[in-house]
């Protein structure tokens, strides 16, 4: 229970807060001004606009503990209805308290208010362990204004809820307030160009009509508050070839940097990478799991390394064992959820459980091994500037032999040795080792995907065209297909049935052969034959590019706001062979082309040759991307490059049957 004094303080704080925000929306003039509006100048095409967004975090002492009260309030104008998502609100993973809300509609000249239903809150399962908390408003339609507010209360945490300034909807007003004891020191790490001007108080900022300001004020009882405000915030939208739009959105993160102790000195927490490294090494659920003696590993490690002639063979044997025998129950995690002995017995665990066990087993075999913590693609990148601990959500293993490093993720049975899944490549990562640890840059620019396709027209007659195809697929595509085919056998059938699409004549597929399907350390090789039965023709139109590198131009929009991030470096090769029968003439053959973007950063070649003596038609097509990151100002030229490349891939060969001699 809260002490009476603290309860009164909290109630006064919340009443004051609610009074300020609700007064604005419940003002009839405000509603009558905004309910009829169908567009706002900040973004005329927006589906909805956030009129008012206010968040606050208050740290309160409760006896020997500190509690945290998070309050959220939003008022949103629905400009274009886009489905149930307009009324469906995500809260988080903790049940809210003091949930209130309403929908306002203009019916004729009357403002009709529909309160939040009593049964509005529901949960949606994300994983076996995690449920999302959500609630749903009623009578939401085009033109509505919705408002809601709630609190989330619990123990004070190291990482506070972030101030996410820029989202997919524009905002007219966004405010974030932190109130805490003077003994709590929080680091404020901003992303994007926030443009916050310091003011002595909010009155001065409002008088100055500032679009962005920050005010830090001293309060009574040895407390302080920090208030951040932004007005007129443009939206940020996902675009093709971007790992995560969140990496470019304006935001501010708050993390506890230290607590001032009685002597006046500050007990710093994770203010440096060295401090984070030491904390994880000392953690019962991290460093202790891999650095203890772990005698229970004696038998299994000895059996896996007995007979191995080199350290590399030991690493490969241990990795293969863990990869093949353990089930991953959660694809996210930094620390162990259970200890290594239980993971070994149960043969299951989170990604952190499995990979930290792998580290422990390698160390037990006298291999230099360390865990690496990172952020998966699609999540916020880790900032090199400051150790924001909540950015980390994944743990892998690194082993070293002399100067050679081997990166491993044993949590998936289709993962390759020394070849991480693509989602691990999300920039800055940390090696947790002795001393201060070390940094590791896991950039997609270090990933090269090589796909080779060989197509041979082996039979060409009046009634039958037979084409043999061999595909040697890169590690990324190979892993994806193995995973898809294992989960759903229909996807394998669909993969081959799609090969027969797009032909004008009847086509069937035969002689299907899949090589290396059960060996994730190798490239997948797929072979098949296309059999086309056709009526007798005098003219044949043939698109020799049976397998296109890009079916459509991924860059369709005229403009772009975000940089371009290719998923990896690409090296695609396509080889087409055909012996042209003696009774066929080549009437029209595409010209060879060599398209380059920039200084060869991207290169498309289509080399066409026909040897009249052997009557062999050979087409060599290739696409290479030597860079993965491009500035937004390069977008127009990249779009044009792709347009030309796709056009070249669509060019046709015209074959005419020779007229019989008289």
Same domain, 76 and 61: yes
The last residue of one of the domains, among 99, 125, 157, is 157
**CA-wise closest residue to 96 among 75, 123, 114, 77:** 123
> Residue holding tokens 């693509």?
422
Same domain, 285 and 427: yes
Q: SS3 helix, strand, coil % of the chain, rounded to 5?
A: 25, 40, 35
pLDDT of residue 266: 61
> Residue holding tokens 């347009």?
643
Question: Beta strands 251-260 and 184-191: pairing type?
Answer: antiparallel
Q: Does residue 385 lie within any of the structural domains?
A: yes
Q: How many domains does the chain have?
A: 4
pLDDT of residue 662: 57
Q: Which two tokens stand for residue 25?
A: 């929306």
C-alpha 57/C-alpha 255 separation (Å) is: 12
Same domain, 295 and 359: yes
Q: Does residue 482 lie within any of the structural domains?
A: yes
C-alpha 246/C-alpha 258 separation (Å) is: 27
Give the 3-state secondary structure of residue 439: strand
Same domain, 97 and 173: no
* Rounded alpha-carbon distances, angstroms, from residue 601 to 78, 553, 637, 640: 44, 18, 12, 14
Q: Which domain holds residue 35?
A: 1-157
166 in Cβ contact with 43 (< 8 Å):
no
C-alpha 203/C-alpha 200 separation (Å) is: 9
Same domain, 250 and 345: no
Q: Does residue 577 lie within any of the structural domains?
A: yes
Give the 3-state secondary structure of residue 553: coil
Same domain, 413 and 523: no
Same domain, 486 and 590: yes
**CA-wise closest residue to 588 among 521, 627, 539:** 539
Q: Does residue 639 lie within any of the structural domains?
A: yes
Q: Does residue 48 lie within any of the structural domains?
A: yes
> Residue holding tokens 């001007």?
197
- 634: CB partners within 8 A, 6+ apart: 564, 598
Q: Which residues of the chain have pLDDT under 70?
A: 1-26, 127-129, 262-266, 504-505, 661-662
CATH number of the domain bearing residue 331:
3.10.620.30
Q: Which two tokens stand for residue 27?
A: 């003002």
pLDDT of residue 10: 40
396 in Cβ contact with 371 (< 8 Å):
yes
Chain Cα centroid distance, residue 231: 28
Question: Beta strands 197-198 and 212-219: pairing type?
Answer: parallel
Which residues are registered as beta bridge partners of 588?
654
The last residue of one of the domains, among 269, 296, 323, is 269
C-alpha 298/C-alpha 340 separation (Å) is: 13
Same domain, 628 and 493: yes
The last residue of one of the domains, among 157, 185, 206, is 157
Which residues are registered as beta bridge partners of 100?
149
pLDDT of residue 466: 93
Which residues are registered as beta bridge partners of 249?
none
Give me the DSSP letters along 43-90: -TT-SEEEEEEEEEEEEEEETTEEEEEEEEEEEEEESS--SGGGTEEE
DSSP code for 137: -
Same domain, 82 and 167: no
Same domain, 127 and 236: no
Which residues are registered as beta bridge partners of 537?
none
C-alpha 63/C-alpha 6 separation (Å) is: 10
* Rounded alpha-carbon distances, angstroms, from residue 204 to 5, 210, 212, 219, 302: 32, 9, 12, 18, 71
Q: Which two tokens stand for residue 242?
A: 């971007």
* Rounded alpha-carbon distances, angstroms, from residue 520 to 66, 205, 475: 50, 60, 8
C-alpha 320/C-alpha 304 separation (Å) is: 10
Same domain, 413 and 289: yes
pLDDT of residue 125: 80
Q: Does residue 662 lie within any of the structural domains?
A: no
- Please state whether the predicted TM-score (pTM) of the whole model is above 0.85: yes
Same domain, 2 and 117: yes
**Phi, psi (5° rounding) for residue 483?**
-65, -45
Q: Does residue 106 lie within any of the structural domains?
A: yes
CATH number of the domain bearing residue 474:
2.60.120.1130
DSSP code for 275: H
Q: Does residue 73 lie within any of the structural domains?
A: yes
C-alpha 402/C-alpha 144 separation (Å) is: 65
Give me the DSSP letters along 2-24: --HHHHHHHHHHHHHHHHHHHHH
């Amino acid at each position: 229970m809260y002490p009476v004094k603290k309860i009164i303080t909290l109630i006064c704080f919340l009443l004051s807060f609610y009074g300020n925000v609700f007064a604005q929306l419940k003002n009839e003039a405000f509603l009558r001004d905004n309910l009829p509006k169908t567009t706002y100048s900040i973004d005329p095409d927006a589906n909805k606009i956030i009129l008012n967004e206010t968040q606050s975090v208050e740290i309160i002492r409760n006896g020997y503990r500190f509690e945290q009260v998070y309050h959220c309030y939003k008022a949103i104008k629905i400009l274009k209805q886009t489905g149930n998502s307009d009324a469906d609100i995500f809260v988080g993973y903790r049940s809210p308290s003091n949930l209130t809300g309403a929908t306002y509609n203009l019916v004729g000249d009357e403002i009709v208010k529909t309160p939040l239903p009593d049964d509005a809150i529901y949960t949606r399962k994300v994983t076996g362990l995690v449920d999302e908390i959500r609630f749903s408003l009623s009578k939401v339609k085009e033109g509505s204004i919705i408002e809601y507010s709630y609190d989330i209360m619990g123990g004070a945490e190291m990482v506070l809820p972030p101030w996410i300034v820029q989202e997919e909807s524009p905002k007219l007003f966004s405010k974030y307030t932190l109130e805490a004891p003077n003994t709590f020191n929080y680091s404020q790490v901003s992303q994007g160009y926030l443009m916050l001007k310091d003011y002595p108080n909010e009155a001065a900022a409002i008088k100055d009509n500032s679009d962005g300001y920050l005010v830090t004020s001293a309060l009574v009882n040895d407390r302080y508050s920090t208030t951040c405000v932004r007005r007129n915030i443009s939206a940020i939208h996902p675009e093709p070839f971007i790992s995560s739009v969140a990496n470019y959105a304006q935001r501010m993160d708050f993390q506890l940097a230290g607590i001032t102790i009685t002597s006046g000195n500050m007990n710093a927490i994770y203010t440096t990478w060295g401090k984070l490294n030491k904390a994880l090494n000392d953690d019962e659920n991290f460093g202790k799991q891999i650095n203890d003696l772990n005698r229970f590993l004696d038998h299994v490690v000895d059996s896996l390394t007995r007979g191995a002639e080199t350290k590399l063979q030991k690493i490969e044997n241990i990795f293969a064992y863990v990869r093949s025998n353990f089930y991953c129950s959660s694809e996210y995690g930094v620390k162990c959820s259970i200890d290594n002995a239980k993971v070994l017995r149960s043969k299951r665990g989170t990604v952190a459980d499995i990979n930290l066990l792998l580290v422990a087993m390698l160390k037990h075999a006298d291999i230099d091994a360390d865990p690496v913590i990172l952020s998966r693609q699609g999540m916020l990148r880790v900032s090199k500037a400051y150790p924001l601990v909540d950015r980390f959500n994944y743990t892998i293993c690194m082993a070293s032999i002399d100067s050679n490093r081997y990166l491993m993720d044993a949590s998936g049975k289709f993962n390759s040795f020394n070849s991480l899944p693509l989602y691990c490549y999300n920039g800055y990562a940390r090696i947790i080792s002795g001393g201060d640890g070390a940094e590791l840059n896991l950039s997609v620019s270090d990933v090269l995907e090589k796909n080779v396709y060989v197509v041979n027209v082996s039979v060409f007659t009046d009634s039958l065209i037979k084409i043999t195809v061999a595909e040697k697929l890169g590690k990324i595509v190979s892993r994806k297909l193995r995973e898809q085919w294992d989960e759903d056998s229909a996807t394998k059938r669909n993969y081959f049935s799609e090969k027969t699409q797009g032909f004008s004549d009847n086509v069937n597929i035969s002689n299907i052969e899949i090589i290396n399907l059960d060996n994730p350390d190798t490239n997948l090789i797929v072979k098949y034959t296309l059999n086309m039965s056709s009526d007798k023709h005098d003219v044949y139109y043939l698109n020799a590019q049976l397998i296109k590198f890009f079916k459509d131009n991924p860059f369709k929009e005229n403009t772009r706001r975000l940089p371009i991030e290719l998923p990896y470096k690409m090296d695609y090769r396509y080889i087409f062979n055909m012996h042209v029968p003696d009774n066929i003439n080549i009437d029209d053959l595409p010209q060879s082309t060599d398209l380059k973007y920039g200084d060869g950063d991207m290169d498309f070649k289509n080399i066409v040759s026909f040897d009249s003596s052997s009557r062999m038609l050979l087409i060599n097509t290739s696409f290479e991307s030597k860079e993965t990151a491009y500035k937004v100002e390069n977008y127009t030229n990249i779009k044009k490059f792709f347009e030309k490349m796709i056009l070249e891939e669509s060019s046709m060969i015209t074959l005419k049957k020779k007229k019989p001699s008289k």
